[in-house]
Amino acid sequence: MITGLIKRMSFGLLAVLAGCTTNTLPAPEEPLFQAPANFPQTTYRFDNNALTKEGIELGRMLFYDGRLSRDGTISCAECHNQAYAFTHHGHDLSHGIDNRLGTRNSLPLQNLAWSKAFLWDGGVFDLDMFPIVPIENHVEMDETLPNVLEKVRKEPTYTAQFKKAYGSEEVTTARFLQALSQFMLTMVSGNSRYDKYIRREVGGALTANELAGLSLFKSKGCVNCHAGELFTDQSYRNNGLSLAFGQDAGRAIITEKAEDKYTFKVPSLRNVEHTGPYMHDGRFRTLEAVLKHYAGGVEATPNLDPLLKQNSRLGIALTDDEQAKLIDFLKTLTDKAFLTNPKFTPK
């Protein structure tokens, strides 16, 4: 009887312990960075800037802080609004400090771990250096990096977060820039209906018109420039925009090569439904206007991309119906989870 009692007590104790173990096990943490299964290899050097929760949080704080500008009014988020894939929605040319007008449209911030260069002309080759450009540009933030670092050093909330992220309160240029990179690297957009369709996941059904648009996207050659799962080959091309609207030299400003004149980085089409207005100068307000340009508005400007001058015609032959179907497909690239992810909002 005593032996049986001991056995029952042992089984009871094991059950309690098992229950405690089940109830107290922490939930598995979500990865700080996860590449979508259908994406290529990243190009960012993560070995030089390992992501941490504390570093990402510090970058998030900095991204939404107007103190990065001269008068405290302009944060990174001013020109990069999450709801519009981190673009300056509705502005053909971005507006900065003192309502000064920039010279180009704001590119979206998404999938930066795969980017080889930044800005419309590719003038920055390292994400860690990218924030310096808007901070010190006189029409954007009109500040200097040393001044920004001094402001940050005077704020106890920041010094505490630097200590959490880096082990000490020291605010250095490298720590400041890499923290911003850590936050921006988490801006991964790869969960659109198109992605679910490609990965054969629930919610990935495409309509007949959307599938027809995908077929046209390939057959009409759009895929040649907006290539792969990133929907950009990251090259610089001249797509025949009228120079009467403006004569920005584009990539040639950086390279000083005649063959680069009027060429600009091919933007990703991910979330394109929400990133208007379009082109480097925001001249087109709608996707309909963009496709009308390719169908009948391409001009034979110097360095026009050869893909837009074939079979003795300029542009891409597209009927109104084909244009509508292409737009239907482009809207499947909208990643609603990315546009509303609370991890990207100001805390």
CB atoms within 10 A of CB 295: 17
Q: Which residue has the tokens 């981190």?
A: 86
Structural domains for the chain: 46-188 (1.10.760.10), 193-337 (1.10.760.10)
What average pLDDT does range 60-85 have in this prediction? 97
223-233: per-residue pLDDT in tens? 999 999 999 99
What mean pLDDT, rounded, does the chain reach? 93
The pLDDT, as a whole number, for residue 284 is 97
**pLDDT range class, residue 28, cuts 50, 70, 90:** confident
What is the percent of the chain with per-residue pLDDT over 90, rounded to a whole number? Answer: 89
pLDDT value at 20 more than 70: no
Q: Which residue has the tokens 């190009």?
A: 43
* Cα separation values, 67 from 71, 77, 78, 87, 165, Å: 7, 12, 12, 20, 20
